[in-house]
Amino acid sequence: MSDAEIDGRPALRRHTSHACAVLAAGSLLGVFVNAISARPLPLVWRAHSDTSVASALPAGVTAATLEEFRFALATGRALAVDARYATMYAEGHVPGAVSLPHDATDAAWAKNRAQLEAAETLVVYCASANCDNAGSVARALLSRGCKDVRVFAGGWKLWRESGLPSEVSP
C-alpha cells in the first residue's frame, strides 16, 4: 500500500466525485419530475407587487398580500370574492370563493347576500394586478354595508402562478 492510500486521499476523492454525481442526478430528476407535474413549482423566484394597486383602491378598502390572503382563508376569517366574469369563475377559482362578477354585482349580491354579510372579512380578487374589477366590486360591497373589505391585488394570475389550489364549478 502506498502512503496516499493509507491516509485515504484517493478514497476521499472517489467518494467526493460519487457524491457530486448523485447530487447532480437527483437535481436533474427533481427538475424533470417538476416539469411533468400537474402543478409544477416555479424554478425561478419572481417578485410580485401584491400591493401595486393599493393607491388606486377605494376609500375604506385595504390591499391584501398573497400571504395575508392565504392566512385569512386558512383560518376561516375571510371569504374570497371573485370579481371576474361568471364564465371565468366557472373555469377555475380560489377554493370556497363566491362569484360576484363586476358586470352582474346586483344579481350575485342577491344570491349570496347571507354568506357575504356573515363573513368577518371579504377579500376580493380579479384576473391580475392590472385588473380594476376587484376595486369596483369592493366599492359595491362597502356601499352595501360590508365592513372589512380587502383587495388581493395579485389576482387569479398570481394565485395560479404560486401553484395554489383551485376548484371549478359545474
Q: Where are the domains of the chain?
A: 3-36, 54-161
**What is the side-by-side order of every strand in the sheet holding 98-99?**
61-63, 149-151, 121-125, 78-82, 98-99
Residues 125 and 94 sit within 8 Å (Cβ to Cβ): yes
Q: What is the pLDDT of residue 51?
A: 41
Is the pLDDT confidence value at 53 over 70?
no
Average predicted confidence (pLDDT) for the chain? 83
- φ and ψ of 18, to 5 deg: -65, -40
Distance, CA of 4 to CA of 88 (rounded, Å): 69
Does the domain formed by 54-161 have CATH 3.40.250.10? yes
Lowest mean pLDDT among 5-19, 132-146, 148-162: 5-19
Q: What's the predicted TM-score (pTM) here?
A: 0.67
